A and B are shown apart, each in its own frame.
Chain A
Amino acid sequence: MKYLYFPGCSLKGTGKAYEESLLAVFGALGVELQELEDWNCCGATAYMSVDETKSYALAGRILALAERERLDVVAPCSACYLVLNKTQKSLQEHPELHRKVTGALQAAGLDYKGTVKVRHPLDVLMNDVGLDAIKQKITSPMAGHKFAPYYGCQIVRPYATFDDQHNPVTMDQILQASGAECVEYPHKTRCCGGSLTGTVPEVGLRLAYILIKEAKQRGAEAIVTVCPLCQFNLDGYQDAIAKKYERVDLPILYFTQILGLALGLPAADLGFKRGIISAEAVLAGR
C-alpha cells in the first residue's frame, strides 16, 4: 500500500505532532507515504475569501503535481482535505472555472485531467488497511482510557465521502479498536471556531470552552481530534479560557497518537511532548 502524502502547512508547523504520529502509525501498519514533491499551500479558507479562481488554481497545482505520480493522495489536515475535494468538484461542475484553472496551470507547464483521488487517513485506515488488520497489530491496548472523539467540521462537511455527516464513527471505531472507550459526544462535528480563534478570540474561546467542558463532563480524559487547527485552538487557548470562564485542563490529542500508543510505538515518536496541555495521564504506565 502506497500513497502520496500531502502534509499541508500546518503539519509542518503547529501541527507537527500530527505529522510525527501519522508517519509513525502508517509506517507500523506497513503503509508507505511518499511526500508530494514541492507541494504548495492549499489556500485554506482564507484565500477563498480573496480570490476564488486563484484559490482553485493553488489547489489545482497540487492536484496536477499529484496526478503525475498516479497514486491516491492522503491529506490529513481537514482544511486541505476539503479544499482539494472541493476543487475537484467545482472544476467538474463549472466548465468556465475549469477552463480558467486548467489554462493557468498550462501556462506554467502543468496539466490536470481530474483523475486524482483525495483521501483522508481515516478513510485509508478503515477502508484500505481495515479494522481487523489494525486490531491484529495492537500490542498495548488503551484499556481503561476514555476519550471524546472530535471530528470538527470540514472532513464530513459539506461532502460526506467516507462517513456520516451528522454522526461520523470511523474515528470512534479506530479508538475502540485501540482498546479505548469513546464517550457519547454530540459535539463531534461542531465548529471549533477555525481561524477566528486567532483573529477574534472572544468568539473562538466560547466555542472551544463548550467543546472542552462538555468532553470533560462526559467523562473524557482527552479530546481526540483529526484536525491540526482544532487541536491548536483547543490546546493552545486553555489559558485564555481559564481567564474568561474556568480552568479546564484537558489534553487535546490526535487519533494517530492514541493509535500509535496502542500499536506499541514509543510516546517519544508520537509527538506527545508537543502538547501544551500535558497528556501525562494518558501516558501513565507507558
Chain B
Amino acid sequence: MAEQKEHQNGIPRIGFYICHCGSNIASIIDVEDVRKYVATLPGVVVSRDYKYMCSDPGQELIAQDIREHKLERLVVSACSPNLHEETFRNAAAKGGLNSFYFQMVNIREHASWVHEDKAAATRKAKDLARAAVYRVRFHQALEKRKVPVDPNVLVVGGGIAGIHAALTLANAGKKVTLVEREATIGGHMALFDKTFPTMDCAACILTPKMSAVKSHPNITLWTYSEVEKVEGYVGNYKVSVKRKPRYVNEDLCVGCMACIDACVFKEPKFPDKFNQGLGKRKPVYIDFPQATPKVVLIDPATCIQMKTGKCKKSCADACDRKAFDFNQQPELKEIQVGTIVLATGFKTYDAKRDALYGYGRYPGVFTALEIERLVNASGPTLGDVVLRDGRHPKAVGIIHCVGSRDEKTNKWCSRVCCMYSLKLAHLIKEHSGAEVYNFYIDMRTPGKGYEEFYDKLLAEGVHFIRGRVAEVTDWAMTPEEQGKLVLRVEDTLAGFVRRIPVDMVVLATGMEAQADAGEVRHKFNIGCGSEGFFQERHPKLAPVNTFTDGIFIAGACQGPRDIPDTVAQAGAAAAEALVLIDAGHVELEPNTAHVVEEECCGCKSCVPLCPYSAITLDEAKKKAVINEVLCKGCGTCVAACPSGSIRQNLFEDDEIFSEIEGVLAQ
C-alpha cells in the first residue's frame, strides 16, 4: 500500500514508512489510517505501510524508493531505535542517502504495546509521525567517527563466569586483567562439594581453571581488589582499581601457612566467612587450601597487632620469606582497556527476612549455602552433616522457594533452587542416612539430564510434598514432635494440612542481585532491571551486551542461572569482546556537541559540568573546546551554556523546535 505525490516546493522530499510488526503494531494502531494521514503532510512524497519493515524486502523497499522518488529524507514508524535504528540507517545508505537524513518513530513500545484504546493509540501514532516529519526536514548529513579499540580486556568478578571469560580471552591471545573483590577467585562454586545434575566434584572441575588463571601469561590477577572508577568509552576505557591491603606481600608469600600455625591464637576463634560462619578462623587465614592466589591475609578487625600494635607477631616471625607487612596501604592502580566483562555474580536471599521460618531463632534452621559447606568433604565438619549442637539429624526438611516466587520479597523464580535442593537432598541422605523431605511449589527441572536427576531422587525415597511451608515452630502437639522443629504445610496433592517434625530445616534461598549492584552499574554506566540484576541489551538477541558499547555481562549478575548457563554466557561475552577487538576500531555516533566559537564568551560554566571531562578552555583564544572523541553527546553543556553557543549534532535547535511544533500541530 502506498500513497505517492509530487514534489513540494522548498521542502525536502520525505519518504514515510509504517511497520505492522506482524500484529504487534497493527492490532492496536490503524496503520493504513496513519499512512494515509502522513501522506497529506507537507514534504511527504511517499507513504507506505508494510508488514515487517526490518525484513530484507522492507529495507529494499526503502532503498528503491530513495532512488526512484529521489527521496531526501526518511521517517520510519516502527519499534524502538535501540532495535532497528541501525537497520534503517543502513537502508538509507543503500539507497544512496546519508544515514542521518533519517528519523525513527517508536510506535510499538511507546504506543501499541502500552495502550488499549485503539483510536487514541492511532492518534498518538499520527502525532509522533508528524513530529518526525517536521523534524527530519532540518536533519543534516553527518558521518560516524572511527576510533581504535584497545585490545586489553578487564574482567570484573572471579566466579566461574569471570574465570571462564578471562581464560577464553587469554587463550585468544588478549591481555586480561581479572579483578576480584574477595581474597580468592572461585565465587560461589568454590563453596560446593558437588554440582548437579552430574554430581561431579566441584573442586575437581573448578580448581584446575583457577590455577590456569593464576599461571596464564596473559592474565593479571588482582584479588582483594575493587574497581574505583571507569572513564572513557568503547575501545578506550581508563579504569582505576583499588587493591586492598592483605598485610602480607602477595609476591613473597607461597602459602605454606606456617604463620597460621604460629599465630598467638592457639585455636581458631573468629567466625569463618567462607564457611558461612559454621567454622572458625584465626586473624591470619586463608579461605581454603586451594584458594587462588594461595596467599594468606590478615583480618585487621581481629588481629591484635592491627588493633593494638602490641602483639608478639609470631606469625611474621614464622614466615621465612619475610612476607608480612603490617603497614601495607591500599594501592590505586590505573589500567587502559578497550572492553570490559562484568561477572559480579549474585548473592543469596537473606533467610532472616522470612520470620516464620525461624532462621536465626532456631539453631536447627540452616541456609542452603551452609549445608553446601556441611556436606563438603573439605568443609568445617569434613562432610559430616551435623546440627549446631553436634547431633546428627534423623529427619531433614528442605523448603524450596525461600525468597523466590513471592511478591512480598522476590517475584522471580531463582531457577537453580529446585535442582540444588535435589542435590542437597541426595547428599544429606548419603552423608547422614536421614529421612529427607522436599517441600516444593512446582518442581522445575528444565535442563539436560535434570529431569532424570529428579527421577533418581524419587527412586531414592526422598519425600516430595507439594506445598509451601507456612511455619517452622518448636511447639509440639504429639509426643513424637517433642524437641523437634515442626513444619506446617498443606500437602496440596493430598488436600490436607500436615505437621512434619524434623531435626534440621534447610532453606533453599533464592538468588538476588549483589547488594552493591546499583553502585556497580552506575560506575560502569549500564542499566539494571527492577529486580536489580544487570540489564542485557536484548533478552533474546543480545543477552550479554549492555546498552553501553564495549561492556558485556556474564553469569548470575544478569539473572539467576546455573553453572552450565553461566559458562555458556561467559564464553559468549568473551566472543563479543573479541569481535570488537578484532575489528580493530569502532564507529561512534556523531551526536557530539560543538562550540560556535564566535558566540562563546569563555565563561567556563560548561567545563566542570561535563561528566566525561571532554571540555577544556583554549587559554589563548579564551574559548571552550570540546574533544569530540570524549564527548558522549549527553547534552548537559548544550543546555547549560548561558550564551547558547554550544550546539549538538542531531539535537540542533531547529530540529527540536520543529519536532515540538509537529507534535503539537493538528
- List the interface of chain A (C-beta within 8 A of B): 164, 166-167, 186-187, 210, 214
Contact = CB atoms under 8 A, between A and B. Distances in A.
B254 interface: no
A214 B486 CA distance: 14
Contacts of A186: 473-475
A187 B475 contact: yes
B475 A167 contact: no
B355 interface: yes
Contacts of B355: 164, 166-167
A214 B475 contact: yes
10 contacts: A164-B355, A166-B355, A166-B356, A167-B355, A186-B473, A186-B474, A186-B475, A187-B475, A210-B475, A214-B475
Contacts of A166: 355-356
A186 B474 CA distance: 8
Contacts of B473: 186
Interface centre among A167, A186, A210, A214, by most B CB within 10 Å? A186
Contacts of B474: 186
Pairs of residues from A and B, 9 with the lowest C-beta to C-beta distance, nearest first: A166-B355, A214-B475, A167-B355, A186-B473, A166-B356, A186-B475, A186-B474, A187-B475, A210-B475
Nearest to A164: B355
Nearest to B362: A186
B477 interface: yes
Interface string B455-483: 00000000000000000011101000000
Contacts of B475: 186-187, 210, 214
Nearest to A217: B475
Nearest to B472: A186
B407 to A, nearest CB: 14
A243 B239 CA distance: 77
Interface residues of B, number: 6
Interface string B586-624: 000000000000000000000000000000000000000
A210 B477 contact: yes
A215 to B, nearest CB: 10
A73 B398 CA distance: 46
A61 B280 CA distance: 63
B226 to A, nearest CB: 35
B256 to A, nearest CB: 48
A279 to B, nearest CB: 24
A166 B474 CA distance: 16
A166 B359 CA distance: 13
Nearest to A206: B477
A166 to B, nearest CB: 4
Contacts of B356: 166
A132 B355 CA distance: 28
A214 B473 CA distance: 12
B101 to A, nearest CB: 50
A187 B355 CA distance: 13
B359 to A, nearest CB: 12
Interface string B348-375: 0000000110000000000000000000
Interface in B477-502: 477
A244 to B, nearest CB: 14
A166 B477 CA distance: 22
A230 B355 CA distance: 23
A167 B471 CA distance: 13
Contacts of B477: 210
A172 B474 CA distance: 20
B221 to A, nearest CB: 45
Nearest to A213: B475
Given A186-B475, A210-B475, A214-B475, 8 more contacts: A164-B355, A166-B355, A166-B356, A167-B355, A186-B473, A186-B474, A187-B475, A210-B477
A166 B356 CA distance: 7
Interface in B359-410: none
Contacts of A164: 355
A83 B473 CA distance: 30
Interface in B204-247: none
Interface string B561-572: 000000000000
Nearest to B355: A166
B499 to A, nearest CB: 12
A241 B474 CA distance: 22
Nearest to A165: B355
Q: Which of B355, B356, B473, B475 has the most CB of A within 10 A?
A: B475
B350 to A, nearest CB: 14
A129 B474 CA distance: 36
Nearest to A166: B355
B342 to A, nearest CB: 36
A180 B119 CA distance: 69
A236 B355 CA distance: 31
A167 B356 CA distance: 9
Contacts of A210: 475, 477
B487 to A, nearest CB: 13
Nearest to A214: B475
Contacts of A187: 475
A223 B474 CA distance: 19
A210 B474 CA distance: 13
Contacts of A167: 355
A186 B358 CA distance: 10
| Residue picked from A164, A166, A210, most chain B C-beta under 10 Å | A166
A186 B365 CA distance: 15
A167 B475 CA distance: 16
A167 B355 CA distance: 7
Interface string B318-332: 000000000000000
